[in-house]
Amino acid sequence: MSKKSTQVEVKRETRPAGNGQRQNPFVSLRHEIDRLFEDFDWPGIHLPFRASGSAIEPVRQWSDVWAMAPAMDLVERNGEYEIQAELPGLGLDDIDVKVSEGMLTIKGEKSEEHVEDDQDYHMRERSYGQFQRSFRLPDGVDTDKVEARFDKGVLFVKMPKTAQAKSKERKIEVKPA
Q: What ranges do the domains of the chain cover? A: 25-67, 70-169
Shortest CA distance to 106 belongs to which of 31, 6, 11, 16? 11
Q: How many degrees, rounded to 5, is the angle at CA 143 between CA 79 and CA 76?
A: 30
pLDDT at 55 over 60: no
pLDDT for position 167: 83
Residue 41: pLDDT band (50, 70, 90) is: low
Give the mean pLDDT of 22-43.
70
Fold classification of 70-169 is Immunoglobulin-like (2.60.40)
Q: Which of 154, 157, 107, 110 is nearest to 4 (CA)?
A: 154
Task: Write down the pLDDT at residue 64.
Answer: 44
The alpha-helical segments, DSSP class H, found in 68-138 are none
Tell me the average pLDDT across 94-115. Answer: 89
How much of the chain, in percent, has pLDDT values that exceed 90? 20
CB 136 within 8 Å of CB 159: no
Q: What percent of the chain has pLDDT over 70?
A: 73
- Using an 8 Å Cβ cutoff, are 137 and 143 in contact? yes
Question: Looking at residue 112, what is its pLDDT?
Answer: 82
* Spatial CA neighbour of 68 closest among 95, 42, 29, 45: 95
Say whether pLDDT at 109 is over 70.
yes
pTM exceeding the 0.85 threshold for the entire prediction? no
Q: What is the pLDDT of residue 40?
A: 62
Query: pLDDT value at position 66?
Result: 39
